[in-house]
Amino acid sequence: MISHPTAGELIDSVIRFIEERAAPNLKDRDAFHARVAVNALAAVRREIEAGATAEADQIARLGALLETDGDWESLNTLLCERIRDGAISPTDQALLAHLHASIIDQVRIDQPGYAGLKTLEAR
Amino acid sequence: MNDLQHALGALAPDLSPGATTIVGLRRLSGGASQETWAFETDSGAPLILRRKPPGVTGSGNAVPLATEAALINAAAARGAPVPRVLAICAPDSDVGEAYVMSRVEGETLGKRIARDPPFAEVRKGLARRCGEVLAAIHDVPTEGLPPLAVSSAATELEKYEAVYRQMDARRPIFEAAFRFLKDRAPTLERPVLVHGDFRNGNLMVHPDTGLAAVLDWELAHLGDPAEDLGWLCTSSWRFGGSKPVGGFGDHEDLLAGYQAAGGAPIALERVLYWQMLGSLKWGCMCLTMYASYASGADASVERAMIGRRTSETEIDLVALLEAAA
């Protein structure tokens, strides 16, 4: 939408500033927090790129699974209730297929280097 | 720090033969509930002080430091590798509530133990050794121990579900895991001494001699022996290592070591049950840490970002649910 710069370019510029200019002057806890800050910005960047598609895909899957329409929040809440009250079994294949696809999308945004992501992607 | 230097100096003759004072006192970690200090006696004995910070009242599930020290002694008597407790200081002493122990040589950084080349040799036998040591800890006679909480799978689930509900987060994977685990909660037949935090990161490992000491006894309680085995296998403590036991070993070796050392046989399924509960528990803890950011109690980027590690536990939970389905 907005360009020159895009949100992604702005984030990249801040990441570069922290890594190249700010972090070398920090130590101990502040240096650690600078690394976490870079990770946080990188997650935001990935969320900007992939978040909307992941949410749309979730809404489509939730609609099919729960046989009803709604926005993400109401559908996700309904799913939680159905699992909690036993209407959907935690080992139900359709449920697991939804959870599988959703959590892969989320970990790709949150922590793409996490070993458990490769485990699930390989299945 | 000067006061602490003096108070420990006065203890020196009890800590090492021929010692008259202590030197090199330095703070190692800044845990909120526990301080860890390193120092030496003037006779050269390397020591560690674990102390409750002055003015801090009891934290959550942690046992008193005197209890920790008593459990370390009890585990030592069964042959488990632990530091040697040299002095226990009462809350009203000059040192404060604390104990002093020998400083054991080795590495505790989970990533190094799971992945670095200097540990390649000891890694081969480490899962089996962990099994043997857990059998020894679980064999500690529970009569005569200081008072400890008793917890079962059901009570652990109750506790963490309350934490999760309080957060008002709607996470279908947590819902599925709670449902799955509650429906299959094993009964607690014979509670044993459970270390409670037996995982890569709390194990001192030497590159030549292997497991040198089991540390961090503050979450010890009476419970299901499989809890310790499952927590050791929980994916969050593999530090990028490829194997299920702490990132360094296989389930079969852990269970074989446990049984060879006299531990009552534990089915792999029961370990996997507690492994799943471990991921769920750590996931709830990540949410709790994020909550301290959301409430404004700790506005650091680290507290905010740890909430985004909850999904790591969720992906592990999905893998375990799929395997069990």
Tell me if ipTM is over 0.90.
yes
Compute the distance between CA of residue A17 and CA of residue B249 in angstroms, rounded to an integer: 41
Cβ atoms within 10 Å, residue B36 = 15
Is residue B238 within 8 angstroms of chain A, CB to CB? Answer: yes
Any CB–CB contact under 8 A between B252 and chain A?
no
Terminal alpha carbon distance of chain A: 36
* Tokens 């699974």 -> residue: A65
pLDDT for B191 equals: 96
B321 touches chain A (CB under 8 A): yes
Q: CA of A120 to nearest chain B CA: how many angstroms apart? A: 6
Amino acid B318: pLDDT = 98
Spatial separation of the C-alpha atoms in residues A16 and A113, rounded to whole Å: 20
Q: Which residues of A touch B305 (CB under 8 A)?
A: 36, 39-40, 43
Helix, strand, or coil here: B68? helix
Q: What is the pLDDT of residues A71-115, one digit of tens each?
A: 999 999 999 999 999 999 999 999 999 999 999 999 999 999 999
User: Residue B248: in which H helix or E strand, if any?
Assistant: none
Q: Where are the alpha helices (DSSP H) in chain B?
A: 2-15, 65-77, 110-115, 120-138, 153-167, 172-183, 225-233, 251-260, 268-294, 301-306, 310-324
Question: In sequence order, what DSSP letters do the residues of A79-110 get, joined into one string?
Answer: HHHHHHTTSS-TT-HHHHHHHHHHHHHHHHHH
Q: Which residues of chain B have pLDDT under 70?
A: 1, 30-33, 55-60
Residue in B168, B302, B311, B320 to test binding to A, most A beta-carbons within 10 Å: B311
Residue B57's pLDDT is 60
Question: Please, what CATH class does the domain formed by B110-324 belong to?
Answer: alpha beta
pLDDT at B62: 85
pLDDT per residue as tens digits for the range B231-288: 999 999 999 898 999 999 999 999 999 999 999 999 999 999 999 999 999 999 999 9
**Separation between Cα atoms, residue B99 and residue B63, nearest integer Å:** 13
Nearest to B164 by CA among B150, B148, B181: B181
Residue A115 in tokens: 């070993």
pLDDT score of B53: 81
Of residues B61, B65, B63, B62, the one with CA closest to residue B51: B65
Q: How long a stretch of residues is chain B?
A: 325
pLDDT score at B233: 98
Find where tokens 């800044």 sit.
Answer: B30
pLDDT of residue B58: 54
- B179–A86: do the CB atoms touch at under 8 Å? yes
- How many contacts, defined by CB atoms under 8 Å, are there between A and B? 99
Q: What architecture is the B2-102 domain classified under in CATH? A: 2-Layer Sandwich (3.30)
Interface membership of B314 toward A (CB under 8 Å): yes
Show residues of chain B in contact with A110, CB under 8 Å: 308-309, 311-312
CB contact under 8 A, B315 and A83: no
Residue B317 and residue B276 in contact, taking contact as beta carbons nearer than 8 Å: yes
Chain A residue numbers touching B322 (CB-CB < 8 A):
96, 100, 123
Segments making up each domain of chain B, as ranges? 2-102, 110-324
Q: Residue B55: what pLDDT?
A: 67
The torsion angle over the Cα atoms of residues B109, A36, B320 and B210, rounded to 10 degrees, is 0
pLDDT in tens, A25-40: 998 889 999 999 999 9
The contacts of residue A17 (CB under 8 Å, 6+ apart) are none
pLDDT on residue B32: 60
B215 backbone φψ class: left, alpha, beta (φ>0; ψ -120 to 50): beta
* Whether A106 and B314 lie within 8 Å, measured CB to CB: yes
